[in-house]
Amino acid sequence: MKVLVVGSGAREHAAAQVCARSGHEVLCTPGNPGIAQVAEVIHWPQDNAALVTLAQERGAELVIIGPEAYLAQGLADDLQAAGIPTFGPSRAAAQIESDKAWSKAFMVRHGVPTAAHQSFETLEAALAYLDTQPLPTVIKDAGLRAGKGVTIAQTREEARAALHAIFEQQNAAVVIEEFMTGQEVSVLALTDGERFALTPPSQDHKTIGEGDTGPMTGGMGVICPFPVSAEDLETIRREVIERTLAGLRAEGIVFCGVLYAGLMLTPQGPKVVEFNARFGDPEAEAVLPLLESDLAAHALAAAQGQLNPADVRWRDEASAVIILAAPGYPGTPQKGIPLHLPQPAEGEYIFHAGTAEQGGQLVSSGGRVLAVTATAAELPAALAQAYALAGRVGFEGGQLRRDIGGRIGLRPSPLGQPQEQP
């Protein structure tokens, strides 16, 4: 099958890699230097009409859309209108991510468990509501912010500053919600809008600093699988994924693609923190290497409304992702830093998130630069292997967290080898 992957990050690198592994011919636009090792990278205009033309001219039999911005601009709608099978939701379905206020209201309408919240379109109303809320509180930009539009405010001054920053933007809206306690977990569903297959649960580490400190990023590391009880997993399946897909169908929306549920395992049970309308990044770099079956075949079946969840098979192994980020991230990252990559061994992957080539030299070109991944029979071994591989990357000033996995009793040793807590 000829598969066109749209996107340029580590998520798209992982998707292209697993499609190529299954023997498919993979094209990617705009791509990156890492993707070029497993697919044909095509430099092409990125507007909808141009991408539809590319898919037609190159005879793509399936398009997999990675980033949320393409979904929000209706690329899936235009590809499907042209008769091209597409794995990625319509603009209407992608509202579940692109408009957090709409998403929260949808959850209330359909009984999907989530945090108590209120949405606002004016600064004055948001500030007045803030004064009635306990601390800490969560301030969310209602639009797309690539995982960085959330502030967990410990003080009213911090919350007010976050609100002012959001409303300085044009057409701004905000969600203020209760702070939930518990372990955070991501569960992704590959779906044709009715039938679905769940990925193994994973846990991202979203802040820049160890001990979950500092500003939010797009994610600094992942462990998979994250231990979720059978009872909680059934609740997630029934009350989150099934209710959400059924609610969308009831509103005339069929969701085809990946429904990402970011969840908090609260004392009252799992509750939705947020939905995304695509593979998470960096979660994709953790779960896709564990996929035993054929991603492209599943995506095509979903696009045709014929997904068979029993066909989706995951290896009974563990994976870990360590993000190497540029100095200055998540503020203003330094670009153009030379990168020197080791040769990964079996079960090891270096997915390119923000890289470029300058004069034949691989350099950093974004905030999150590399997603260093390892798989193994058990999670401690996967973490040890991922940290060891990250330690062999030449990247002056590169940032990484040394406590990935620490929330479940794993910690890195002084040499960076994660060990169980005593």
Give the per-residue pLDDT at 190. Answer: 98
Residues listed for the chain = 422
Q: Which domains does the chain have, with CATH numbers?
A: 116-178 (3.30.1490.20), 185-311 (3.30.470.20), 318-420 (3.90.600.10)
Q: Give the mean pLDDT of 93-111.
A: 93
Q: Give the mean pLDDT of 116-124.
A: 87
Sequence-distant (6+) residues with CB within 8 A of 81 are: none
Give the per-residue pLDDT at 101. Answer: 85
Q: In angstroms, how far is CA 190 from the centroid of its own chain?
A: 13
Looking at the DSSP bridge assignments, the partners of residue 412 are 418
Return left, alpha or beta for 267; rule: phi > 0 is left, psi -120 to 50 is alpha, else beta: alpha
CA distances from 400 to 123, 250, 356, 367 (A): 36, 44, 20, 12
DSSP 382: H
At 155-166, the pLDDT tens digits run: 999 999 999 988
Q: In angstroms, how far is CA 248 from the centroid of its own chain?
A: 21
DSSP states along 257-318: EEEEEEEEEETTEEEEEEEESS--TTHHHHHGGGB-S-HHHHHHHHHTT---GGG--B-S-E
At 195-237, the pLDDT tens digits run: 999 999 999 999 999 999 999 899 999 999 999 999 999 999 9
Give the per-residue pLDDT at 422. Answer: 41
At 321-378, the pLDDT tens digits run: 999 999 999 999 999 999 999 999 999 999 999 999 999 999 999 999 999 999 999 9
Query: Residue 402 has which token pair?
Result: 């040394």
